[in-house]
């Protein structure tokens, strides 16, 4: 609470003796206070104190009514109110009336300290800002109606001052909010004037473009963005709209030129800024980094080419072999190796089609888990068995589980799918053979399942993208869709777990699945 004791004697308004001059001098000093620099509580306190003394009041206060449910005491002068129930009754009734009627008022108070009350509402064109109230002790004469005009004269500039302060506070809060929003946006944002010169930007634009703030201020938006025909038309149209002052809104792909770095594929949203009166003051460009999407698009194209190839190769083999077998009589001993190839090729087709179906299920959020309890070791052995049989001559397989009969609550078939994916990759990407080690150990409530191979390994710069759909380290390597690890990761995460990879190129890779032993925490989607 600010009290009148903060005022030094020099701060008080010195007044001449002539009553007219005295009033003018007083008002001049009082209004001057509102224009002075300093903290609002101190200014209000001085204002109230000088006015109170001029009115020979013993006490007074200013209350803000901007929030009707929470009246705020802005300043207090002289004898403070005794906020006891019987006092509060009379005084609060008085300022409630002021607030309701929004007219100056005089009243008799209920207590000796405030036996006479005078007050004015602080009203601007728009609203009621607060009230000013003064009171006198019963030993002094009561306020009279002639005191009201003076109070009314000072109330208006005070109300306007308070409104301005409030407006400045709200504006600065809005500005801070806006700045927080802009700097938390991932998209780059560029504000330009009607000549296309940069006026402002957010942090993301600095980060994306690698230009410093000082460098950006010297540029125009066309120094930063390019595109190719026919999209260049949109760029030209935006420029034209800025120059002639027309409303414009469009989105188009382009490239962001970076400071000594490669261009970044972006999607640009152009908008002109329209002022209240309808005139165009400039433009805003929001710039979205499309690197990831472009990469996925490219991988999708490669995938489509690859899938066509993946589908065609087995079908050609199958149809060729069938033709051969149909074309001539063949003893069973000759037929078996051919049937083996046919089986392998149909399995390959089966896997590819399954992966594609799984991808569409994941994308539609249609993977459902049916968890049940089972022995993890049995599942691990079962998942590896067909591969062990098929590759027993080229690879060594080891399965180690601790504790041996440990249980897990999981979707059995989905976990089987995870293990088949990881173990078949371990075999597929170990062309020279070597050991494939499947381990599982339980620590507290988690199972840590590892699949380790001694194969070709994965280059460090590819590790980050390995679980992205369609990603393959080397497009020309052995057959595959680039979907297995993406699907594996999805299944593991649906279980509330995590998939990790560690690898050294040329030495081998280890994929680790961390799974909660007691099943997914929430009901799986
Ligand atoms: P696919 O094997 O059908 O290509 P995946 O999603 O299973 O698809 O694997 C994605 C890529 O990750 C593979 O193309 C391969 O380059 C790499 N990869 C996966 N597992 C291994 C592994 N054990 N060793 C080396 N590279 C691997």
Q: Which of 215, 210, 169 is nearest to 66 (CA)?
A: 169
Q: Which of 262, 289, 316 is the last residue of a domain?
A: 289
Q: Which residue's alpha carbon is at the smallest distance from atom 7 of ligand 1?
A: 484
Looking from the CA of residue 483, the nearest atom of ligand 1 is: 6
- Model confidence at 489: pLDDT above 90: yes
Q: Which of 306, 337, 363 is the last residue of a domain?
A: 363
Contacts with 267 (C-beta within 8 Å, 6 or more apart), sequence order: 251, 252, 253, 254, 287, 288, 290
Is residue 393 located within the same domain as residue 450? yes
Residues 146-157 as b/e (b if ≥16 CB within 10 A, e otherwise) read ebbebbeebbeb
Is residue 275 located within the same domain as residue 156? no
Is residue 376 located within the same domain as residue 509? yes
Kindly state whether residue 25 falls inside one of the protein's structural domains: yes
Tens-digit pLDDT profile for residues 128-183? 889 999 988 888 889 999 899 989 999 989 999 988 888 888 888 888 888 888 88
Give the binding-site residues of ligand 1, using a 6 Å CB cut-off.
425-426, 429, 453, 455-458, 466, 471-474, 477, 480-486, 509
Q: Which of 363, 391, 420 is the last residue of a domain?
A: 363
Is residue 163 located within the same domain as residue 23? yes
8 Å CB contact between 275 and 298: no
Report d(CA 267, CA 227) in Å as an integer.
10
Is residue 317 located within the same domain as residue 378? no
Question: Which residue among 433, 484, 505, 506 has the greatest number of ligand 1 atoms within 8 angstroms of its CB, and so is best to mutate?
Answer: 484
Helix (H/G/I), strand (E/B), else coil: 196: coil
Is residue 397 located within the same domain as residue 488? yes
Is residue 279 located within the same domain as residue 300? no
| CA 313 to ligand 1 center in whole angstroms | 20
The interaxial angle of helices 147-184 and 40-54, nearest 10 deg, is 180
Provide the 8-state DSSP code for 357: H
Mean pLDDT of all residues in 184-207: 94
Domain membership of residue 475 as a residue range = 371-516
Supply the CATH number for residue 489's domain.
3.30.565.10
Report d(CA 391, CA 297) in Å as an integer.
36
Tens-digit pLDDT profile for residues 250-272? 999 999 999 988 999 999 999 99
| CA 425 to ligand 1 center in whole angstroms | 6
Kindly state whether residue 389 falls inside one of the protein's structural domains: yes
Number of separate domains in the chain: 4
Contacts with 473 (C-beta within 8 Å, 6 or more apart), sequence order: 458, 459, 462, 466
| CA 489 to ligand 1 center in whole angstroms | 13
- Model confidence at 126: pLDDT above 80: no
- Residue 26's H or E segment, with its range, is helix 19-35
Supply the CATH number for residue 335's domain.
1.10.287.130
- Model confidence at 23: pLDDT above 50: yes
| CA 135 to ligand 1 center in whole angstroms | 86
| CA 466 to ligand 1 center in whole angstroms | 7
Kindly state whether residue 202 falls inside one of the protein's structural domains: yes
Tens-digit pLDDT profile for residues 65-94? 876 667 788 888 886 655 455 445 677 788
Question: Which residue among 419, 482, 487, 488 has the greatest number of ligand 1 atoms within 8 angstroms of its CB, and so is best to mutate?
Answer: 482
Is residue 345 located within the same domain as residue 401? no
Q: Which residue's alpha carbon is at the smallest distance from atom 19 of ligand 1?
A: 425
Mean pLDDT of all residues in 29-33: 88
Q: Which residue's alpha carbon is at the smallest distance from atom 21 of ligand 1?
A: 425
Is residue 112 located within the same domain as residue 199? no
- pLDDT band of residue 8 (cuts 50, 70, 90) is very low
Is residue 121 located within the same domain as residue 139? yes
Question: Which residues lie across from 399 on neighbouring strands?
Answer: 438
Is residue 281 located within the same domain as residue 314? no
Which one is predicted more confidently, 225 or 79?
Answer: 225
């Amino acid at each position: 609470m600010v009290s009148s004791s903060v005022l030094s004697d020099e701060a008080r308004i010195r007044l001449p003796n002539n009553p007219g001059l005295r009033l003018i001098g007083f008002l001049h000093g009082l209004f001057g206070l509102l224009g002075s620099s300093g903290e609002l509580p101190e200014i209000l306190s001085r204002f109230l104190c000088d006015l109170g003394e001029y009115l020979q009041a013993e006490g007074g206060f200013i209350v803000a009514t901007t929030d009707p449910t929470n009246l705020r005491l802005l300043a207090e002068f002289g004898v403070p109110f005794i906020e006891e129930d019987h006092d509060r009754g009379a005084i609060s009734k008085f300022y409630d009336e002021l607030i309701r009627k929004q007219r100056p008022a005089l009243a008799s108070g209920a207590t000796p300290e405030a036996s006479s009350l005078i007050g004015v509402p602080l009203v601007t064109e728009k609203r009621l800002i607060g009230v000013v109230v003064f009171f006198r002790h019963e030993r002094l004469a009561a306020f009279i109606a002639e005191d009201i005009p003076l109070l009314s004269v000072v109330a208006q500039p005070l109300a306007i001052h308070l409104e301005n302060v409030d407006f400045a506070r709200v504006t600065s809060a809005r500005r801070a909010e806006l700045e927080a929003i802009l700097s938390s946006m991932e998209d780059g944002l560029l504000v330009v004037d009607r000549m296309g010169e940069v006026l402002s930007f957010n942090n993301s634009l600095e980060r994306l473009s690698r230009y410093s703030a000082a460098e950006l201020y010297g540029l125009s938006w066309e120094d930063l963005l390019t595109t190719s025909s026919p999209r260049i038309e949109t760029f030209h149209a935006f420029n034209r709209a800025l120059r002639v002052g027309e409303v414009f809104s469009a989105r188009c792909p382009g490239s962001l030129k970076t400071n000594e770095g490669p261009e970044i594929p972006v999607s640009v949203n152009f908008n002109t800024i329209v002022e209240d009166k309808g005139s165009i003051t400039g433009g805003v460009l929001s710039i979205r980094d499309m690197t990831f999407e472009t990469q996925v698009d490219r991988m999708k194209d490669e995938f489509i080419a690859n899938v066509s190839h993946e589908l065609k190769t087995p079908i050609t083999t199958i149809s060729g072999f069938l033709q051969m077998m149909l074309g001539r009589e063949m003893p069973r001993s000759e037929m078996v190796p051919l049937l083996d190839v046919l089986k392998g090729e149909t399995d390959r087709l089966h896997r590819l089609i399954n992966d594609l179906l799984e991808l569409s299920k994941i994308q539609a959020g249609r993977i459902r888990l049916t968890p049940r309890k089972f022995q993890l070791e049995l599942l691990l052995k079962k998942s590896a068995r067909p591969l062990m049989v098929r590759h027993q001559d080229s690879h060594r397989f080891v399965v180690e589980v601790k504790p041996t009969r440990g249980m897990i609550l999981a979707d059995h078939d989905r976990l089987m799918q995870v293990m088949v994916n990881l173990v078949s990759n371990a075999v597929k990407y170990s062309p020279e053979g070597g050991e494939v080690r499947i381990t599982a150990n339980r620590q507290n409530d988690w199972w840590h399942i590892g699949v380790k191979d001694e194969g070709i390994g994965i280059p460090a710069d590819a590790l980050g993208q390995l679980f992205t759909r369609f990603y393959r380290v080397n497009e020309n390597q052995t057959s595959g869709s680039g979907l297995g690890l993406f699907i594996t990761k999805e299944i593991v995460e649906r279980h509330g777990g995590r998939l990790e990879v560690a690898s050294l190129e040329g030495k081998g890779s280890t994929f680790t699945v961390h799974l909660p032993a007691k099943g997914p925490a929430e009901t799986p989607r």
